[in-house]
Structure 1
Amino acid sequence: MNLGRHSISATTPVQIFDARFDPECNIFTTSTPAGFAVYRTHPLQLIRKRELTGGTLAAVVPLHATNILFLLGGGRSPLYPPNKVVLWNDALGKEVAELEFRERVRGIACRRGWLAVSLRRRVVVFQIGTSVTRYGEWDTGDNPRGEHRVAVSSFRGGLLAMATAPYSTLLAIAGRQVGHVQLVRLPPCPVPVSRNPPPSSPPRKPPPPPSKHPVSIIAAHTTALTTISIPMSGRLVATTSIQGTLVRVWDTITGKLVREFRRGTDKADIYGVAFRPDEQEVCVWSDKGTVHVFNLVVSGATNRHSTFSPLAPFLPLPKYFESEWSYAQYRIPVQSSHISLSSTSRSAKEKAAVDMPEEERCVVGWIEGTSDDPAAPPNTKEFQLIALTFTGGWYRLGLPKLAGRAPKRSSGSFKTSPLSPSGSPPPASHLSRAASVAGSSASRLDKGKEKERNKDPKKESRNCALLEYRRFGRWDGWG
């Protein structure tokens, strides 16, 4: 019996139905069988938890770092009907409004003062102020994404995304034809009201209008879309399809293809794409359990290419050989394969398995953290990744040192968690597994690239460094 990638535990694994960041990645929310919780992203800290009785939630969507949350019922015993979106004021600790539709809600996206709700064949937009008013409605193609998956009670967000930066206007939704993206221009996003004294610098001015009329439709793929992602500015849009091999980035003004990246050669279910706040890089994660990082800047030249790519201008090679591959990867360790040692009845085990999260399911966001490189000046800031797994794992990842990049980050050491009782470290099994993954085998590269890397041991490592590891869920008294 092979137990190499399994964790033996006498306790029931953490059940997290959904986890998602706010647009700035300052906080993230989780929904569990007991209710929901709000955490600070970095340093990891439990801000608030709400225990709810009478049912479970499929998703809790934060409206930036405000007290307003959007709740969606789901699971085996939904707290709310699947055709409702509930507005929750966490300062009051109660529901303040609800939106009811004639069909199941597939997904939602929000920004300051606005909410977009994705249904099977349409997207409805609401303006949120002292009251909730319907702003508009747009038809889309068939959107089976975002259905509540009974096997794991997770909520797959619908095909829509909203720009959240001040003065941004973009709402990206699925088009009426397969593989198309529809770009909708909403009123400009307002500037957030600061509670601090006004800064000495003049306020930021709105950007000038585009020199030509922006496009409204992008023919992104020939197969059905799986994700639509945009940065906070709304200047770009990233799309993926059911093939799960390519990520395409488009200019939202001209509609032209900016870059095309190859995640891998085998089919995958891509869960999400996230832009770095300065729009210099993107990261992609999928059901393969691997996070891929791509450089968006042409001058960076850090993405991997096939050894045959220089011959493309001279020989009629397949497009595959012109592909750009990720310059950095990280392999999320499997943590949901637990073997219970407790004497639980078979029927109870089967019932609990219905709500178990998918293996290696995660969500990833960007933060600006302090460099762990001892050679860097004190308090040096750099962009890092935070990966949240649906089994309660929190990973802070540093990007590798490559040509044209910042100094290499150290792999760091595991620190005691402020969320664990008495400051005790995470379980040894998790530490050894995470440390081994952060070493020589932190990523699963495609077959050809893996062989090439092994042939040259002097090549720079393209594995993200595991800087810090935490557990959230049962370890902070929640779950």
Structure 2
Amino acid sequence: MNLARHSISSISPIRVFDARFDPACEIFTAATPAGFAVYRTCPLELVRKRELTGGTLSMVVPLHTSSLLFLVGGGRSPLYPPNKVIFWDDILGTEVAELEFRERVRGVACRRGWLVVALRRRVVIFQLSVDEPQVRRHAEYDTCENLRGLAALATAPHSTLLAIPGRQMGHVQLIHLPPCAPPPPTPNRPAPPLKPPPAPNKRPVPMIIAHDSALTTLTVTLSGRLLATTSSRGTLVRVWDAYSGNKTRELRRGTDKADIYGVAFRPDERELCVWSDKGTVHIFALGANAANRQSSLSQLSQYLSLPKYLSSEWSYAQYRIPTQSAHISISSAGKQEGERVDEERCVVGWIEAESTAPLPSRPQSPGERAQNRRSSVSSTAAGREFQLVALTYTGGWYRLVLPKIVSLSGAGPGLASPPGRSTSMAGSPPRQHARSTSGSSNMSRPDKGKGKERDKEKETTDCTLVEFRRYGRWDGWA
């Protein structure tokens, strides 16, 4: 008789209907079949949870780090009608107000004192009272068909920008609301400067013709200075100056079509990341001396007319989210298509955390300090750095560290071996299975004499997974 100890666990994967960060990525919300919960982003900690019966939610939108949340029903058995936005006070544990529309709510965006509701062909803006939940209709704008519910708000103090789809496909409307009020001071957060930034010399443009095809994402920086757009083709990320309307950057995610889920700017606007259904998070630098990869033939562009592919900027770092294809396929057997977990789905945010690299033990010369500034694009103050947190819709929480040293003369995709995956991590993430690849990664066998050089290149172009944890059912609620 075999008396060995066996561990038995459920094969049913975690089902997260919605996961999203607050604007500063201090907290995030998660909606599951059991209800919703609020977590502290880093270190990961369950702040509070609400177990709801009678239906499910499709959106749980936090208003910064306050107790007010905006709920929208969804799924096969919605908890609330999908044409309503419910104001939920999590301290009181009850609904305090609601907005009802004649059609399904497609998207919700908010900031202090303002709420934006995206419908299929229009966007409605509401002004919220600070002291009590009073709502006043402010304005309404027509858009093209906006099934994704796109709307992006700048949330930094004194910012004004609201970006929504235009009336024509691929266009972006730029709307300027009254300045955003600064947050109240707390012991951990000093009061921001009360003096607003100087007004621009020219009147901001009201429209940007961003793409020829339909928009898939709209993202603005916290200050509202920059805007990022992607289209249904899923190959390019375009960055725009929100005041002049000029295109400042065109970044290539890959060559094959993809469904881009989101784009996130680093808080200091020096980098951005993009993620899609390919399961890979790409990181791009936006500085003057950006370390993004380019084809070695791009230097000939001033002499020859080269294809757009060869002159593109590619991500300088990336991370491939592991999957559990076999695990999910077994547990999904017998379920309808709409109930299956989307293992490629994730959302990514920027955080500022303690540096994982030791500080220098001796004073550095001016030349060394300048070289470190050029090579380390993720450093902030001494002992602090910007990192990434990725949330998967199967309940995975990944904390990623960006490469510290980035080659400024790397060859573009197809001309050099691709970056590999770093295996340094804390925890036990799911086993990685094969998945579809983007145009920026294809496997090639290393040649003799070049293995060490390519291993060095892999170390400098891949993000490092330093911590992996679970959220959702794994922390005690199903």
- With normalisation by structure 2, the TM-score equals 0.84
- Conserved 8 A contact 1:125-1:137: yes
Change (3 A) 1:197 1:176: closer
Matches within 5 A, 1:236-385: 236-300=226-290, 302-335=291-324, 337-338=326-327, 349-350=334-335, 354-374=338-358, 380-385=383-388
**1:417-465: CA deviation from partner (whole Å, max 9, x where unpaired):** xxxxxxxxx5xxx36x36xx9xxx9995636775599866414221100
- Rounded to whole Å, the distance in 2 between the matches of 1:61 and 1:43 is 21
Aligned to 1:119: 119
SS of 1:24's equivalent in the other structure is coil
Distance 1:219 1:195, change over 3 A: same
User: Paired residue for 1:423?
Assistant: none
Shift in CA distance, 125/337, structure 1 to aligned 2, threshold 3 Å = farther
Matched ranges for 1:30-41 at <5 A? 30-41=30-41
Q: CA deviation at 1:472?
A: 1.0
Taking the aligned partners of 1:314 and 1:395, their CA distance within structure 2 comes to 44
Q: Within 5 Å, give how 1:47-446 maps onto structure 2.
A: 47-129=47-129, 130=132, 131-145=134-148, 158-196=149-187, 203-300=193-290, 302-335=291-324, 337-338=326-327, 349-350=334-335, 354-374=338-358, 380-403=383-406, 412-414=424-426, 426=428, 430=429, 433=431, 446=439
The C-alpha deviation readout for 1:231-269, integer Å capped at 9, x for no partner, is 110000000000000000000010000100000000000
More relative contact order, 1 or 2 (CA 8 Å, 6+ apart): 1
1:109 alignment partner, SS class: strand
Distance 1:197 1:278, change over 3 A: closer
Unaligned residue ranges in structure 1 (runs of 5+)? 1-7, 146-157, 416-425
Q: Residue type of the partner of 2:116?
A: A
Q: Offset at 1:372?
A: 1.6
Name 1:474's counterpart in structure 2. Answer: 473
Cα contact 1:10–1:341 (8 A) shared by 2 = no
- 1:270 CA displacement: 0.1
CA deviation digits over 1:250-303, x for unaligned, max 9?
000100001000000000000000000000000000000000000011213x10
Cα distance in 1, alignment partners of residues 260 and 184 from structure 2: 36
Question: What secondary structure sits across from 2:146 in the alignment?
Answer: coil
C-alpha distance 449-311 of structure 1, shift in aligned 2 (>3 A): farther
Alpha-carbon offset, residue 414 of structure 1 = 1.6
Q: Identity of paired residues, percent? A: 61
SS of the equivalent of 1:72 reads strand
Q: Is the 8 A contact 1:25 1:365 kept in 2?
A: yes
CA separation in 1, counterparts of 2:285 and 2:440? 21
The 1:294/1:447 distance shift into structure 2, 3 A limit, reads closer
The residue type paired with residue 192 of structure 1 is P
Alignment deviations for residues 307-363 of structure 1 (CA, whole Å, 9 cap, x no partner): 210111111111111100000000001136426889x9x7xx425x63232122100
User: Residues 425 and 464 of structure 2 are in contact (CA less than 8 Å); yes or no, is this contact kept in structure 1?
Assistant: no
On the 8 A contact 1:107/1:119 being kept in 2, the answer is yes
Q: Corresponding residue for 1:14?
A: 14
1:311 to 1:197, Cα distance in 2 relative to 1, 3 A:
closer
Structure 2: distance between partners of 1:238 and 1:327: 18
Contact 1:9/1:340 (8 A) holds in 2: no
8 Å CA contact retained: 1:57, 1:78: yes
How far apart, in 2, do the equivalents of 1:127 and 1:449 lie? 50
- In 1, Cα distance between the equivalents of 2:189 and 2:37? 32
For residues 397 and 319 of structure 2, what CA distance do their matches in structure 1 show? 13
Query: Is contact 2:13-2:328 (8 Å) kept?
Result: no
Kept in 2: contact 1:34–1:51 (CA 8 A): yes
Tell me, in whole angstroms, the C-alpha distance in 2 between the residues paired with 1:113 and 1:363. Answer: 25
Give the C-alpha shift of residue 191 in structure 1.
0.8
Any conservation in 2 of the 1:337–1:359 contact (CA below 8 Å)?
A: no
Q: Structure 2 vs 1, CA of residues 14 and 81 (structure 1 numbering), >3 Å: closer, same or farther?
A: same
Report the AA paired with residue 140 of structure 1: T
Once residues 277 and 26 of structure 2 are traced to their aligned partners in structure 1, the CA distance between those partners, rounded to angstroms, is 25
Whether contact under 8 Å (2:165, 2:171) holds in the other structure is: yes
Residues 329 and 442, structure 1, Cα contact 8 Å, conserved in 2: no
Partners of 1:317 and 1:212 lie apart in 2 by 35
What amino acid is aligned across from residue 28 of structure 1 in structure 2?
F
- Structure 1 contact 9–339 (Cα < 8 Å) conserved: no
Whether the aligned pair in 2 keeps the contact of 1:330 and 1:442 (CA below 8 Å) is no
Distance 1:166 1:273, change over 3 A: same
| Conservation of the 8 A alpha-carbon contact between 1:29 and 1:60 | yes
CA distance, structure 2, for counterparts of residue 202 and residue 335 of structure 1: 44
The answer (yes or no) to whether the contact 1:26–1:41 under 8 Å persists in 2 is yes
Aligned alpha-carbon RMSD (Å): 2.7
